[in-house]
Amino acid sequence: MTSTSSLFESGIEAVHYRSALRQLRRAGRACLNPAALFVIVVVIGATFSGWLSGHGPNDQNLQARFAPPSREYFLGTDALGRDTFARILYGARISLATAISAALLSTFLGAILGLLAGYLGGVIDSVVSYVSDVVMAFPAIIFALFILSVFGSDMKNVIIALAVYGVPGAFRVVRGQVLVIREVEYVKASVSVGASPLRTAVRHVLPNSIAPLTVAVPLAMSGAVLAEAGLSFLGLGVRPPTPTWGGMLADGYAFIYDHPRLPIIPGIAVFLLVLSLNAIGDQVRAALSHRRS
């Protein structure tokens, strides 16, 4: 490669990465709001749950069953006299850990597959697109049920089930974006100066496909929070006595007549976390489309 062509190329690259970075910064600025603050509060609560709660999530106090909120039990206790506040904090660990891992894993795998399929096309594209169609035609919960009954219900497998199910969504987003970017001049320029397909894909196509993914990650996370709680509600998620928000909802549902607080508190926790993640996704999207227009 001659020095002029590499100069030419690096010039284009710098613009790409700088613009990708600028997009991310703009997205980051958009995150300073109540939604992001709530997510930060949940993260802190989950991280320091032992220190904040004062009670263990499985400590039973049978003298204080169904205790109303008090100074001792901030959100009251459940049917076994366990501290609801402690269980919410520990449950946040499961929700956050599954959401973050499943969303990142599915986005990462989806991005790689989307890049491959969109950029290489041909047989690879057909095969991967076909498999993604098949997975998408499968009802989500039944799919998760399969994976959990094959490998057993623990957190790792819940994450795998949700991640595998989320891959086709991320795959479609990235593949669509790659199909557009592939035809843009700077990519053609890179090919015409003799860059290898791998180099073109990684250095030119990939950074420009980052934008839609920054929207996809928070939304994938909120989807994973909903799905994890749904699985736990059905009794298919992480096994008791490990506290999960979905499990607390299901347990509390039995006492809906006398202690409606029990199912409502974990419900509000799921609702607020999902609402915040969705709001962050919307704000990132708005920030990005603002940039485009």
Question: Using CB under 8 A as the criterion, which residues of the chain lie in contact with another protein when the complex forms?
Answer: 130-131, 133-134, 137-142, 145-146, 149-150, 222, 226, 229-230, 233-234, 246, 249-250, 253, 256-257, 260, 263-264, 267-268, 270-272, 274-275, 278-279
Provide the minimum distance between the beta carbon of 207 and another protein in the complex, in angstroms, as a whole number: 28
Q: What is the separation of C-alpha 100 from the centre of its chain, rounded to a whole number of angstroms? A: 5
CB atoms near residue 235 (< 10 Å): 12
Nearer to another protein, 118 or 263 (CB): 263
Query: At closest approach, how far in Å is the CB of 130 from another protein?
Result: 7
Give the C-alpha distances (Å, rounded to integers) separating 232 from 51, 147, 173.
25, 14, 29
Strand spans (E) along 176-265: none
**Residue with smaller CB distance to another protein, 110 or 266:** 266
**Considering Cα of 166, then 219, then 213, then 97, what sign does the dihedral take?**
negative
Cα separation of 159 and 169, whole Å? 16
In 3D, which of 91, 221, 251, 201 has the Cα closest to residue 159?
221
The residue to which tokens 């996370």 are assigned = 221
Which one, 188 or 290, has the nearer CB to another protein?
290
Q: How far is the CB of 269 from another protein (least distance, A)?
A: 10
Q: How far is the CB of 277 from another protein (least distance, A)?
A: 8
Residue (48 or 130) nearer to another protein, CB: 130
Cβ distance to another protein smaller for residue 79 or 272: 272
Count of other CB atoms within 10 angstroms of residue 160: 17
Least distance in angstroms from the C-beta of 142 to another protein: 6
Minimum distance from residue 145 beta carbon to another protein (Å): 5
Q: Which of 170, 221, 103 is nearest to 178 (CA)?
A: 170
- Beta bridge partners of residue 83, listed in sequence order: 77
Residue closer to another protein, measured from CB, 98 or 200: 98
